[in-house]
Each structure stands twice: as structure tokens, then as C-alpha cells.
Structure 1
Amino acid sequence: MNTTNRIKLSTMMFLEFFIWGAWFVTLGTFLGTNLKASGAESAAVFSTQSWGAIIAPFIIGLIADRYFNAERILGVLHLIGAFLMYQMYQSNEVGSFYIYVLSYMVLYMPTLALVNSVAFNQMKDPEKEFANIRVWGTIGWILAGLAISFVFHWDTTENIAQGMLKNTFLLAGIAALVLGLLSFTLPATPPKVSDDKIKIADIIGLDALKLLKDKNFAVFFLSSILICIPLAFYYQNAHPFLTEAGIENPTGKMAIGQISEALFLLLIPVFFTRFGFKKTILVGMLAWAIRYALFAYGNGADLSFMLIIGIALHGICYDFFFVSGQIYTNSKAGEKYKSAAQGLITLATYGVGMLIGFAVAGWITDNYKTATGTINWEMVWIIPAGIALAVFVLFALTFNDKNKAEVSH
């Protein structure tokens, strides 16, 4: 790959995840303070991510893979996204905001697959080259969080009270505009020409349902959906919780989670080779329970270190479960079902699992509000810790790692 294309693709990845990190991390706090949203209303807004994940394969499968260059669709989606971000910036009530954020997520989620397509199309050896490009996405997310806390200071207690968090949508919108325009200069990624009839089953990976006949894969599949319930609590409640606990620069400190994610990504091959799939994924599940216990019993004063450790566990929580799961799915699917199986797992986790998770998180938050409107955070975190522990026990008892050697390879 020539240097110009490497720089363009790295910038594309940087902006793709800078956009997401610029507004999504602080969204829970924005909804509660600026729009006075209830737990259920916040859950509905966060669920737009899941609806986007469910609809995304259809946009990619029906349009991008067949009729238009991927980089051009990427450009159009981000330019429309920039406009929707501006509308979100101007929204003053949850109803109109929800319409804009749902429209935005339906357009944004397909871009996650499109940037990968554009990048892979330029690579001779993706296994060696992709990580060096993709890491710029993680850097983009981290720098968005650091900018909000340490450059703009929008997440200080005083600035949150003044409604400054709405500026995050302006920041994301500007980045989306830049990426939208940049996309038209990216290397051409023409559609995959195919005369085959489109099958909806292929698009959402239904062919991979045959894998569920394998008891172990079925246990993994169910566990993947269930572990997304505690995951949703983190996305929806972590920033409001840290803000209320009095942690300074909460957005910047939450970037520790992404730094941890990048580091633990490098350790997954070591864990797989030494301990096998089952132990690796169990460590990931247990980390969710420990993290939420730390959140439940820590505070923003003398026990603030517990909250920081909880954030830092994100790398183990996310990588050891989701990335390990993708590798396991790949090994079980075989050549025929590889794409279908990954599509099915994405639909099950970011689609179904997270939808259930956000609804549960919203319901729990509303039910543990006191008469004065404050939230009993201890219970809000103990419940997902219990769910994660239950999934851990379920998986430990019912999953048989008989294919340890096969997966390790």
C-alpha cells in the first residue's frame, strides 16, 4: 500500500471513531441534564444503536455490495449525518431528538462495515496490515474524549449545568462533514458484481443458524445475547454515574477504557494459546461482574480508585468476550458460513442483546430513583453485576471446551 493511501485510510478510521466517541460517551449525561429524559426515554435513545445495527446489513447487502462504490456511499452517509448532528445540537426536547438520533444511527452503523471494506480493498495481506490502520480508530475515540474533558471542558459540573454538552454534537458534526468530503478522495472500492438473486437470509446471516445445532455454539450464542444486558448498563449509565459521583473530567477518564481495549487486544492471542477459548471468555465475563461491583461500592472521593479500576477493566470486559467470540465464531463456521456467522453474532449482540439490555437498564434506573429524583447507584450496578455472574456460571457449567486445540490455532 502506498503512503498516500495509508494516510487517507488511517485518517478515515480516525474520523470514523472520533465522531462516535465525540457524542456517544456523554449522551447519557446530556439526556438527563439537557433534555430531562427519564430512564426509559434514555433507553429508547440508546436503543437507536441497536436498530441501526439491525438495519445496517440491509443497506450494505442490498445497496453497497451491488450498485455503488463503498467510498461514495460512505461520503453521502456522513454528509447527511453531519446535518442530522446539527439538528441534534439544536434539539430541546426528547421527542424531536429521538427522531434525529434514530435517523443518524440508521445511517452511521452501516459506515462501520463500509470503512472496513474500503480498507480491506487496498490490502494485500489484511491480517498484517489491518490492525495498523484500525488502531487509528481507537486513537480517534480516545482523543475525542480527551478533547471534551481537557480542551473544551464541557463536562465540568458547572458547564454541564449550563448545557454545554450539546456542543459535543457540533464537534461530531464537523468531523462527519470532514469525513464526508474526504470519503470522495478515498481509493475506489467498486461494488462486488453479482448476478445472483438477493436473499434476505444471506444478508442477516440466517444460514449460520445451522451452527446452533452444535450445543457448545448454542451456549455461546445465548451467552453473547445475555452478556449484552450488563454491557448496555455501561453505555447508558457510566458517564452520568461518574459525573454524579464527582469524578473530574469524566469523559477523559473514560478514555482509559479505550486505551485498555487497545492493550488487551494484543494479549488475546497469548491467552488463547495458553488457556484456550473457554477460560479466556470466562475471564471476560467475570471482569463485567467485578467492574460493576467496583462501581457499586466505590465513590468519587476516597474510593475513586475503584471507579478508575472499573473503567480500566473495559479492555478485558470487551476484548476477552467480544473479540474472542468473533475468533471462536470464525473457527466454528468454516469457509461456507464465515460471513453469515459474523453477521448473525452481530445481529444477536448489538441488535437483540443490546435492545434488551438498554430496556432493562432504563427500567432499573427509573425504579431505583428516590423521591427527590436521585438514583440509587449501588443497586443500578449490583443488578448487572449479578446478571454477568449468572451468565458466567451458565457458561462455565454448560460449555465444553473440547475443541480447545482447534480454536487456539
Structure 2
Amino acid sequence: MIESLLVANRGEIARRIIRTAKRLGVRAVAVHSEADADLPFVVEADEAVCVGPANPAQSYRNVEAILAAAEATGAQAIHPGYGFLSENADFARTVQARGLVWVGPGADAITAMGDKINARNLMAAAGVPVAPGTTEPATDLDAAVAAATGIGYPVMVKAAAGGGGMGMAVAADEAALRTEYDKVRAFAERMFGDGSVLIERYFPRVRHVEVQILGLADGRVVALGERECSVQRRNQKLVEESPSPAVSPELRARFLAAAVRAGEAVGYRNAGTVECLLDPATQEFFFLEMNTRLQVEHPVTELVYGVDLVEEQLRVAAGLPPTFDPDALTPRGHAIELRINAEDPKRFLPGPGVIGTWVEPTGAGVRVDSGYVAGNTVTPFYDSLLAKLVVAGADRAEAIERARTAVAGFAVAGPKNNLPFFAELLDNEEFVSGDYDTGIVGRMR
């Protein structure tokens, strides 16, 4: 096993990785910005290094500062968490070139999956279903219009290098496409340094279902079930659950087989997620993207499968076998994750501030992965995620009931937060029925 690990991230995911590292006897090193100096992940690490000011470009995305911290602390490996540098292939290569262990997939797999058009083409060649769309970038507006005419409206206009729900727009007709194309291309150039745009069929009523995969040290790729991620605002997830209430045993078998093929097509190692869109009317699903990292929502898979995915990541990186039998994976019960964000519960706009009260719920089947405690300041420099409230039950009905109790028992005062939204959602008939899609939040508002 790795003996010392630098966590190149912050907040709840850094704290969560540190927790597993310390349980395994691995020395945990945190890096932090000046703004995060008093957060729990810094205090709980065995050693911590300030790598720059609040601006992420000067701290959490500062490759040389992070590598210098690894050298100064004698860290053997680097875990990037999610976001920031986690899907940066050049960073992964540099880490390994410096003689350090990279806790993640190979740089070639990150590169292959980082461009949505290239990823679509690779998946189609591997027999993974893909939605009708362009096989090369729409280099100008005329090319985009021609592609959309062939695909049929409505279409999704997407940044090829995008991720996390960013750089996407829907065009219902040619006039809308002419407006959205330039917006998406400009956004992509500004945010990702790559203005490439793809055009893809848009499905008005669709569910977002993803599969957790793990590429093992021996070369096998295994799938640890699916997660439903259809409760979203601005194409970003708010709630995840496993198993999906929309997936039958037959459909599940097709989902998992396709996800394994996707991983095998790029020689995948370590944890990753194959994201798909599911048309509930036809039961057809289409590859959306592969996230070459640990997902925010990994805890629901952990609770259903009884595994620690961070431990499995460390074992793969160290060349060790998994703690479980890949041929005998058995899901049990149901788990739901609610993303507690520092944002108002109506318009979902950020609301940073000083945390005056922070009381986490407890009880059977309740888990809280948090990044803050009372007295901490939620700054405007980073993602608004405060904590992940995860509940498990013997079935979906029990998980929902436990989630209701846990939301009522979660007390946060100071920054705005979306707990009231979750209280509303958990009593929403559409959500409770399990027959919902990505438009549910819009219908609630």
C-alpha cells in the first residue's frame, strides 16, 4: 500500500480522502489556499502546505506549487479528487514523470475521454450506443446548421472540451441555433481554451443515468451498478440515487455491459463513471461522456455495494487486488445523496457567508460527508457544495423516509442553503413515485 498521499483538492472531498487514508495507515498531506487555512480537511491532515492565494489558478490548479508540496513533504502519491486538476492529462503525466504515483486513470485515457467528439467516436466504435450527432467539430455556424438539419431539431449545442454541465445549450430551431452556437463557442474558448463545438440530438424528456466502473490492477474492468442523477439545476446534479428506479434488471444488464466495454476500449484503470441519457419512452440509452475521476456522488455506490471506493482507488494505484470479489458483486438496499449547497433554495444562486450553526443529522443509515464546521467561512472563490447528505435504507421508500428525517435534523445558519428545497422535493409526488426526469426541478419552480 502507498505510505504517504498528497490530496490535491479541498473541502469535503479532501476530508473524505484523508479519512480513508488515515484508516489505512497512510500519511495524509493536505494542500490548501490562504482562504481555506482553517477548514477541517487542513486540520485533520497529518501535514498541510499552503500553495497560494484564494484564486484557484494560483493554488489548487497551480501544478508546480502542488508538486513542490509533494516533494517537500515526501509524499509518495497524489490523489486529485474531482474538479481542479483531476482530469488534466498533462498533470497526470507530470506527476508520474516526477516519480510519484498518480491515483487515477492513465493520462491517455483522460485525453481520449476529455474531448466529447473523440469520446463519442471511440464509444461508437466499441459498440456503445451514442446519440445522433456530429463526428467532428462544427467549425463554423454553417456547419452547425447543416449538422442540425441532418440530425433534426431540437439539438444540443455542446462544448467538446466541457464537463460538469457547463458549455451546453438547447436549440429548438435554426434561429435559436444561430444564437446559441456563438455563445457556446465563446464560453468554451474562455473556460476550456478550446472552442470546438458538437451538435447532438436533444431529448426533451430524458433521464440521466450513469455507471460506476473500476479498472483493476490486473486489467479487468468491473461495473458497480448505476446511479440515477436526473434531479438537476442548470444541467448540474442535486440528487443522486442507486439503484435507479427507472432501470429494470434487463436494462441494467445492458447498461453495465456497455459501461464495461467503454472502459475496456481505452484500457481504463482506477475509478471512473460512464454517463448516459435514457429515453424512458423507448428504454434506449446513449453515451453522454466518461468522467475520468472519482465522482461527487460516489457515496451512494459505496453504501449499496459495501465498498470504499477511495480505498479501491489506492489499491489499484499500488498494483493491489480489490478488497471485493469482482465476480460476486451484490447490491443491497437503496441509497440517496442530497448535495447541500450554499445557495438559495428558489433560484439556486450562491449565498456565501460565515457559518453560525452547523448541526449534522445522525441515525440509522445516515452519512454526512461535509467540508465545513461552525465558525468556518464559505467564500465565493469555490464551488458552493457544503456537504453531501447520504441516506440508505432497505428499499427506496425507507431511504426517502430517512432522508426526510435527516433533512429536518440538519441545522445550518449563516450562508444560504438549499435544505428547504430538499424538504420540498422529498414530498413531491413525482419524485416519490420514481417516475421523474431531468425536467423535475423546472416543474417544481
Calculate the TM-score normalised by the size of structure 2.
0.24
Q: Give the number of the structure whose residues are more often strand, by fraction.
A: 2
Calculate the TM-score normalised by the size of structure 1.
0.25
The one of the two structures with greater contact order (alpha-carbon pairs below 8 A, sep at least 6) is 1
Q: Give the number of the structure whose residues are more often helix, by fraction.
A: 1
